[in-house]
């Protein structure tokens, strides 16, 4: 006959031996879950840091930069070039270089009340919605910019232009002529619609203020740019466009990337992928 004390100890020992593996398994599962969550948080933090400080993706939603950039082009912006901004501040870290004439730049403008009106961010009413634009940098601080009769003048000098003989037809069937323009050391393409002139964008001049930049679209007659709404501060410049990482004939937001219909039906522009966004050197 077993003694009560001994029997009680044996019962306790037996019970402990049966539940210990379950407890260890549960602890291991929790530890594994925590490890996965921590890994995910670190990965997201690294991705956000890269987006904020190194490169940022951008989608071309309009034809204002035709023929250089097409609707449906996706590109990376080089945040290191001008120096990335510290989030929630206007403090910019040192960059690799300053903005230069001819750069294709992604920057922010404001839409007061979320309407059609466009303004520089620093001049817009508080609480205005912001939107990313992409244009070509035409004027740096101190430049005298003038535009008239379809011609662009920088510091009193008319920019050289020449016809290429190449036509361009947009998605609405509108026909343009592709011309080359020399902007300092940057030779780039622009569009010209024969016989068209928008009076609102056809005559004006200004001197670019310190710390600000004058932007124009390469599709000169159909671009809402600094001729209409003024200049942009350095603080609003995200950086120059660096490289195209994708291009297709889809005019939608980033969610269109995940629509399987687009992957089967949309025209893919394979020849544009991994192309650098840059000027040709002026001979």
Reported for 172-179, long-range contacts at CB under 8 A and 24+ positions apart, including other chains, are 176/66, 176/67, 176/219, 178/67
Residue 64 falls in the annotated catalytic set: yes
Say yes or no to pLDDT of 12 above 70.
no
* pLDDT-derived band at 16, boundaries 50, 70, 90: very low
Question: Percentage of residues in the chain with pLDDT exceeding 70?
Answer: 92
* pLDDT-derived band at 164, boundaries 50, 70, 90: very high
Q: State the maximum Cα–Cα separation within the chain, in Å, rounded to a whole number.
A: 115
What totals of helices (H) and strands (E) does the chain contain, helices first? 4, 15
Sign for the pseudo-dihedral over CA of 277, 256, 128, 111: positive
Burial class (CB in 10 A: 0-12, 13-18, 19+), 242: buried
User: Tokens representing 165?
Assistant: 């003989």
- SS3 state at 283: coil
Nearest to 76 by CA among 277, 279, 252, 266: 277
Q: 128, 135, 226, 247: which one is catalytic?
A: 135
Gap between the Cα atoms of 244 and 8, Å rounded: 75
Sign for the pseudo-dihedral over CA of 257, 60, 281, 100: negative
DSSP 81-97: HH-PBPTTS--B---SS
- Each residue of 30-55: pLDDT tens digit? 888 888 888 999 999 998 888 888 99
- Each residue of 121-134: pLDDT tens digit? 999 999 899 999 99
Structural contact between residues 256 and 61, judged by C-beta atoms closer than 8 angstroms: no
Q: 64, 128, 226, 247: which one is catalytic?
A: 64
What residues does 78 pair with on adjacent strands?
55
Nearest to 228 by CA among 213, 215, 241: 215
Q: Which residue has the tokens 């003694």?
A: 3
Nearest to 70 by CA among 247, 254, 242, 192: 247
User: Tokens representing 52?
Assistant: 């904020």
Residue 6 falls in the annotated catalytic set: no
Q: What pLDDT shows up at residue 4?
A: 46
- Each residue of 94-115: pLDDT tens digit? 999 999 999 999 999 999 988 8
Mean pLDDT of the region 181-201: 88
User: Tokens representing 202?
Assistant: 């056809």
Say yes or no to pLDDT of 22 above 90.
no
Say yes or no to pLDDT of 18 above 60.
no
- SS3 state at 209: coil
């Amino acid at each position: 006959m077993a003694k009560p004390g001994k029997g009680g100890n044996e019962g306790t020992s037996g019970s402990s031996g049966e539940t210990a593996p379950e407890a260890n398994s549960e602890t291991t599962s929790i530890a594994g879950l925590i490890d996965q969550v921590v890994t995910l948080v670190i990965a997201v933090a690294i991705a956000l840091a890269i987006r904020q400080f190194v490169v940022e993706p951008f989608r071309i939603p309009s034809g204002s930069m035709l023929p250089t950039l097409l609707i449906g082009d996706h590109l990376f912006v080089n945040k290191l070039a001008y120096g990335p901004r510290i989030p929630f501040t206007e403090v910019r870290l040192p960059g690799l270089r300053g903005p230069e004439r001819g750069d294709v730049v992604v920057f922010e403008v404001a839409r007061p009340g979320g309407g059609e009106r466009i303004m520089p961010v620093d001049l817009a009413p508080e609480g205005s919605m912001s939107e990313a634009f992409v244009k070509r940098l035409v004027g740096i601080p101190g430049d005298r910019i003038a535009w008239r009769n379809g011609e662009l003048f920088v510091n009193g000098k008319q920019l050289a232009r020449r016809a290429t003989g190449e036509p361009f037809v947009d998605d609405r069937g509108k026909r343009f002529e592709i011309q080359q323009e020399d902007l300092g050391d940057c030779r780039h393409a622009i569009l010209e619609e024969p016989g068209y002139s928008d009076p609102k964008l056809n005559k004006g001049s200004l001197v670019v203020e310190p710390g600000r930049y004058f932007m124009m679209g390469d599709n000169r007659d159909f671009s809402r740019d600094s001729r209409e709404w003024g200049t942009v501060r350095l603080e609003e410049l995200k950086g120059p466009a660096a490289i195209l990482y994708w291009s297709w004939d889809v005019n939608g937001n980033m969610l269109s990337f995940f629509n399987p219909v687009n992957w089967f039906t949309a025209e893919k522009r394979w020849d544009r992928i991994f192309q650098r966004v840059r000027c040709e050197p002026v001979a």
